[in-house]
Structure 1
Amino acid sequence: WCPPEDTESSPMLVQGVLNFTLFIKTFIEFPLFGVKNKNMVDNLKPCIFDPIYNKDCPIFTIDYILNQAEDDSTERDLMLRYGGVVNIKLHWDCNLDRSVKLCKPEYTFTRLDAPFREKPFSIGYNFRYTSTWKQNEEDFRTLTKAYGLRFIISTSGNAGKFNFITLTLNIGSLIGIFGIATFVCDVIIFRLSKRAGVNRNFVFEKVHWKKGFNATLDQSKLRIERNEDQLLNDVPNVDK
């Protein structure tokens, strides 16, 4: 026989929990470039994370985490009382052409459990654990239902570095794509469209080879005759 659970509201047993701190220590590796990095500063002096003045510090207060994950103050108070689940995501976006020390993660905080105002039943986050002991040859067991904050930490990242070969291949691919695009457009306009014949007549000029060749010969003969007349007229002037 076990007594039923006491579901009545009770004050928080842990006071000042908002001032507690969480130290996040993580590493990341980019094997393609052979680079490893960490989110810790070189000088591990006491610090508290601040998005403006101390954004490299990996130590966060519970108050800051809850404020980032939940905007409603009432919901934050209920999370402290009945528990909750918060995802802390570290995203690395690194430019490896610069110093590796400049590669730092960005932190985002997201609440994963359903808000209390939406689901009044099975609220928060809790778990049960037992402790057993024996006294006077009699077994005893205590079942404890604990509420708390659960932090799930996930890491993601991407990195890039300049490579001349990759740049050359990309430029060649773009040139090839533009060349194919021009060819495809010409085929559609001059062969497949309804006004293909009109388009061809507008762009291309038909030239009759024989007629054009004879006209070219006539123009060449005329130029030769003009040049001969000019030379004959210039010769007497030289003799004088």
Structure 2
Amino acid sequence: MKKSQISSALSDFFFEYETPRQVLVRNRRVGVVCRLIQLGVLVYIIGWVFIYEKGYQSTDIAVSSVFTKMKGVGYTNVNGVERVWDVSDYVFPPQGDSSFVVMTNYIITEGQQMGTCPELKDKHNCKSDADCEGGRFKRTGHGEMTGVCVNTTNTCEVLAWCPVEDDRIIPSPPLLMSAENYTLFIKNSVTFPIFGVTRSNLVEGIDADYINKCLYHPEDAPLCPIFRLGDIVKLSGFNFETIAQEGGTIGIVIDWTCNFDVAVKHCKPKYNFHGLYGNPSDTGQTRPSLGYNFRYAKHYLENSVQKRTLLKVFGIRFDIIVQSLARKFDIIPTLTAIGSGVGIFGVATVVCDLVLLYLLPKREFYKNMKFKYTDTPIQDPDSEAGSMETEVSKK
């Protein structure tokens, strides 16, 4: 008996097909709601998923490498002292990194040597030695206090590199305004490992002859890898003299957005420029920290005495940022997008069923048409004679 029941169940499972019962409802309002929902889903699938989001393509992000080289010579004449500044003097660091600083202004303190000297005014003023506690440091000071108040300056004496740096007045106009005409060469290569494609910003047509005479322009020469610093600052929205006086930071974004469903030669970079420290319209009152600067020292021996030349450098920091996204047709995301779209079509059925069964005046009639009620005989387990009961169930 059990064997025949199992055999019958397996036969029903493998050789029968069940389909949901469907009811054709002639109702204009419900029909219009259904078609509008289906139309919205269709527009979403075609317009957003396939056309805008390109759901039929797989994506990849590039592995990138950037090399830079600066060219240009600057000249200054400060208090009759003439200097010529070349790349090794005004670029930090000098290795050609993707982030570097070009000096545009500076404060120089020459001939410093270790010793004792008075602090600058307003750094640590004093009236007597009691105001200068020996052995202590002040965060904004230049050295360790010796406990002596210097009467000629009314400031505390410190053990430091003397004379101490006086950076209260920033040169204006910037001493190295010539930096506006320096040029920057950028060499960038990207590899999309999933698609096995490697590209360089020296694309087809960018050869040595072209590089020697071209200069980047967003419309006339958008692929030239040589950039004038003044143009970079202008395209980022800033004024060169303003940013050169106290320094700042500019981001150079190399955008590789490529579609490999077409020829690889069409995959070309686009350059964008952005000020990274605030907006061009910000003023000294609205910006929390003005400019960009740092200090570095050149040490030397003079008559067996160690001395140094200290420079407070104001400059423009350039950060080269590579962003990339490559796409190519792939059957798997295509089928996934289609499958999810077909599933969303079920929303129309759910909404229309809710309207039919709970909102329309003839909802009881539609319920009777949609659902079939049957009397299912079941055996009462408590009855020895196996008496039958009747249960109403929905299908």
Normalised by the shorter chain, which TM-score bucket? Answer: 0.7 to 0.9
1:11, 1:161 → 2: CA distance? 52
- Greater Cα shift, 132-141 or 61-70: 132-141
Bigger CA radius of gyration = 1
Contact 1:190 1:200 in 2 (8 A): no
Contact 1:116 1:124 in 2 (8 A): no
Q: How many residues align structurally?
A: 200
Alignment of 1:54-203 (within 5 A): 54-71=221-238, 73=239, 76-114=240-278, 115-118=282-285, 123-178=290-345, 180-191=346-357, 193=358, 195=359, 198-199=362-363, 201=365
Structure 2 SS opposite 1:185: helix
* Residue 31 of structure 1 pairs with residue 193 of structure 2: yes
Quote the offset at 1:122 in angstroms. 5.0
Structure 1 SS opposite 2:273: strand
Structure 1 SS opposite 2:321: strand
Quote the offset at 1:173 in angstroms. 2.5
Quote the offset at 1:190 in angstroms. 3.2
Quote the offset at 1:43 in angstroms. 1.1
More helix by share: 1
* Residue 7 of structure 1 pairs with residue 168 of structure 2: yes
Segments of 5+ residues of structure 1 without an aligned counterpart are: 207-240
Deviations 1:5-43 (A, max 9, x none): 143334433353222111121122222212121112341
Quote the offset at 1:118 in angstroms. 3.6
1:173, 1:20 → 2: CA distance? 54
- Greater Cα shift, 15-24 or 182-191: 182-191
Structure 1 outlier segments of 4+, above 6 Å:
202-206
- Greater Cα shift, 151-160 or 181-190: 181-190
Contact 2:260 2:327 in 1 (8 A): yes
Segments of 5+ residues of structure 2 without an aligned counterpart are: 1-161, 371-395
Structure 2 SS opposite 1:161: strand
Percent identity reads 34
Instruction: Give the structure-2-normalised TM-score.
Output: 0.46
2:231, 2:163 → 1: CA distance? 40
More strand by share: 2
Structure 2 equivalent of residue 16 of structure 1:
178
Deviations 1:84-130 (A, max 9, x none): 11011112110101122211122211112244544588521111001
Q: Give the alignment's Cα RMSD to 1 decimal.
A: 2.7
Instruction: Give the structure-1-normalised TM-score.
Output: 0.72
Structure 1 SS opposite 2:307: strand
Letter in 2 for 1:63: G
Letter in 1 for 2:292: Y
2:365, 2:190 → 1: CA distance? 64
Evaluate the alpha carbon distance shift between residue 160 and residue 5 of structure 1 in structure 2; reply closer, same or farther with a 3 A threshold.
Answer: same
1:51, 1:203 → 2: CA distance? 67
Structure 2 SS opposite 1:123: coil
